[in-house]
């Protein structure tokens, strides 16, 4: 056991915890029996304080490894500590891909299930929980197999439950069959936010993958200009060659924290401008590798250090289709505030699953990366929360570092149901995290 200072990807709000890496399910069970306060941790890619616990015990899941053989229908049992990167290194050469992947491969399967992660295909395929058949879950009151039919309440509280129902040790997943390691990408540049949003709605049924990068630094007529990329997996007939090669690891690394002020309105505006101009007005059927399309940021490791010592927050919210105007108002608010923001990521969400605290709701999700520092930032974030609440939407807990308990109760109306389930398997309220304490999710 070691004492460590832990923080999330945004590098804000660190805290000190005891850290242990259990190597077996029995060891996890023993730790849960003896600890007074405990939480699981994966690769620490949640942005805020979800995977740390001040003064408590953090169980890193990285030694809970193992990848079973893949059945002919793509079903595989994976250790919760295996990263998507490690899993894809095995599965892609065999012609299988993750049914849902977040924007980085550097997350563990346990962390991905706990956040019920979504990808660029939510409108088509839902979130990761929709592809999980079963899990082994160690709780303070016992170890269970849970699935949509075996204790479905506990299963759906764990999908998106941010580690607060126990430690997942293995996950049975159904993978997606692929014929090649390429996607065919259509790219279109839009000068107006309304146009890109209309195009995304119109093509919900036409593409498996869809994402828009929105420039939040421009005002006036070009406010919210965007680059939309939509893609399908390439089949053997689409391309020459049928290679199935897994993406390579990062070859670049940010070695130290960038000096304060490196990312300011001028540098970020310039970056956004270059990005926008580099994109073609319209290009169809471009072959891209799986890594380049799904995980473009994985090419540089530790890129979060570019934000300097003070770090950054990501504000990601979801609102329904009838509240499209909230997306426009949020970008307006940001672009008029002077708070710098790299290109924001806009995606479509399809139907929600049964995850009690799962984030997606049908409609839109917008993710904004904002460096800590500008005086206007706290006010902008509060305004965004207010807009989201007014629209009946919610902020993503895996990205959050600053919501308050009242806001979360409104955003996640099934919270009382979640706490009932948590009380059943954790009557002594052992499962906790800094996020859970901050948002009053530890117990009733």
Contact positions vs ligand FAD (CB under 6 A): 9, 39-46, 50-51, 61, 80, 102-104, 107-108, 110-112, 114-115, 117-119, 162-163, 167-168, 297, 398, 433
Between residues 108 and 324, which has the closer beta carbon with respect to ligand FAD? 108
Least separation, in Å, of the C-beta of 91 and ligand FAD? Answer: 18
Residues in the chain: 444
Between residues 61 and 335, which has the closer beta carbon with respect to ligand FAD? 61
Least separation, in Å, of the C-beta of 291 and ligand FAD? Answer: 13
Between residues 19 and 339, which has the closer beta carbon with respect to ligand FAD? 19
Between residues 46 and 188, which has the closer beta carbon with respect to ligand FAD? 46
Least separation, in Å, of the C-beta of 160 and ligand FAD? Answer: 10
Between residues 190 and 359, which has the closer beta carbon with respect to ligand FAD? 359
Between residues 43 and 250, which has the closer beta carbon with respect to ligand FAD? 43
Least separation, in Å, of the C-beta of 101 and ligand FAD? Answer: 8
- Single out the residue of 76, 108, 80 nearest to residue 92, CA to CA: 76
Neighbours of 72 (CB within 10 A): 6
Least separation, in Å, of the C-beta of 225 and ligand FAD? Answer: 22
Between residues 280 and 296, which has the closer beta carbon with respect to ligand FAD? 296
| Distance (Å) of CA 117 to CA 256, 312, 321, 360 | 29, 21, 20, 9
Least separation, in Å, of the C-beta of 403 and ligand FAD? Answer: 14
Between residues 4 and 383, which has the closer beta carbon with respect to ligand FAD? 4
Least separation, in Å, of the C-beta of 10 and ligand FAD? Answer: 9
Between residues 246 and 439, which has the closer beta carbon with respect to ligand FAD? 439
Least separation, in Å, of the C-beta of 127 and ligand FAD? Answer: 7
296 vs 313: CA distance, rounded Å: 20
Least separation, in Å, of the C-beta of 104 and ligand FAD? Answer: 4
**Which positions ≥6 away from 231 have C-beta within 8 Å?**
120, 183, 184, 185, 186, 207, 208, 209, 210, 288, 293
Give long-range contacts, CB 8 A cutoff, 24+ apart: 370-373: 370/312, 370/313, 370/314, 370/315, 370/339, 370/340, 370/341, 371/263, 371/307, 371/308, 371/310, 371/311, 371/312, 371/340, 372/12, 372/307, 372/310, 372/311, 372/312, 372/313, 373/260, 373/310
Between residues 53 and 175, which has the closer beta carbon with respect to ligand FAD? 53
Least separation, in Å, of the C-beta of 106 and ligand FAD? Answer: 7
Tokens for 350? 């399809």
Least separation, in Å, of the C-beta of 227 and ligand FAD? Answer: 17
For 296: left if phi > 0, alpha if psi spans -120 to 50, otherwise beta; the answer is alpha
Between residues 64 and 196, which has the closer beta carbon with respect to ligand FAD? 64
């Amino acid at each position: 056991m070691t004492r460590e200072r832990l923080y999330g990807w945004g590098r804000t709000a660190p805290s000190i915890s005891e850290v242990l890496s259990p190597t077996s399910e029995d060891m996890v069970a023993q730790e849960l029996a003896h600890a007074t306060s405990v939480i699981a941790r994966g690769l620490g890619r949640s942005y805020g304080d979800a995977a740390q616990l001040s003064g408590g015990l953090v169980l890193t899941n990285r030694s809970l490894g193992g990848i079973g053989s893949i059945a002919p229908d793509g079903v595989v049992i994976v250790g919760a500590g295996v990263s998507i990167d490690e899993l894809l290194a095995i599965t892609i050469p065999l012609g299988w891909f993750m049914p849902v992947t977040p924007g980085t491969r550097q997350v563990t399967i346990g962390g991905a299930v706990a956040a019920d992660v979504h990808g660029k295909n939510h409108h088509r395929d839902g979130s990761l929980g929709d592809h999980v058949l079963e899990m082994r879950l160690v709780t303070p009151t016992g170890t269970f197999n849970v699935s949509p039919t075996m204790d479905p309440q506990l299963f759906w509280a764990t999908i998106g439950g941010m580690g607060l129902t126990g430690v997942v040790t293995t996950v049975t997943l159904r993978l997606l069959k692929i014929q090649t390691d390429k996607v065919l990408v259509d790219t279109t540049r839009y000068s107006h936010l309304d146009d890109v949003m209309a195009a995304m709605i119109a093509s919900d049924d036409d593409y498996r993958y869809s994402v828009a990068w929105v420039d939040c630094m421009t005002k006036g007529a070009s406010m919210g200009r965007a680059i939309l990329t939509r893609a399908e997996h390439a089949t053997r007939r689409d391309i020459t060659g049928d290679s199935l090669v897994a993406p390579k690891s990062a070859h670049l690394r940010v070695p130290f924290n960038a000096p304060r002020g490196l990312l300011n309105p001028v540098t970020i505006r310039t970056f956004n401008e270059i990005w926008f101009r580099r994109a073609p007005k319209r290009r169809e059927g471009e072959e891209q590798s799986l890594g380049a399309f799904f995980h473009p940021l994985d090419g540089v490791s530790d890129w979060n250090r570019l934000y300097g010592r003070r770090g950054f927050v990501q504000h990601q919210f979801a609102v329904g289709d009838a509240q499209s105007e909230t997306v426009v108002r949020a970008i307006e608010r940001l672009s008029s505030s002077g708070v710098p923001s790299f290109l924001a990521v806009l995606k479509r969400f399809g139907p929600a699953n049964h995850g009690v605290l799962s984030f997606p709701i049908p409609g839109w999700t917008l993710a904004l990366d904002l460096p800590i520092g500008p005086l206007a930032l706290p006010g902008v974030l509060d305004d965004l929360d207010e807009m989201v609440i007014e629209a009946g939407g919610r902020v993503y807990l895996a990205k959050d570092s600053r919501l308050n308990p009242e806001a979360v109760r409104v955003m996640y109306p099934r919270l009382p149901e979640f706490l009932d389930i948590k009380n059943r398997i954790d009557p002594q309220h052992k499962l906790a995290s800094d996020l859970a304490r901050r948002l009053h999710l530890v117990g009733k």
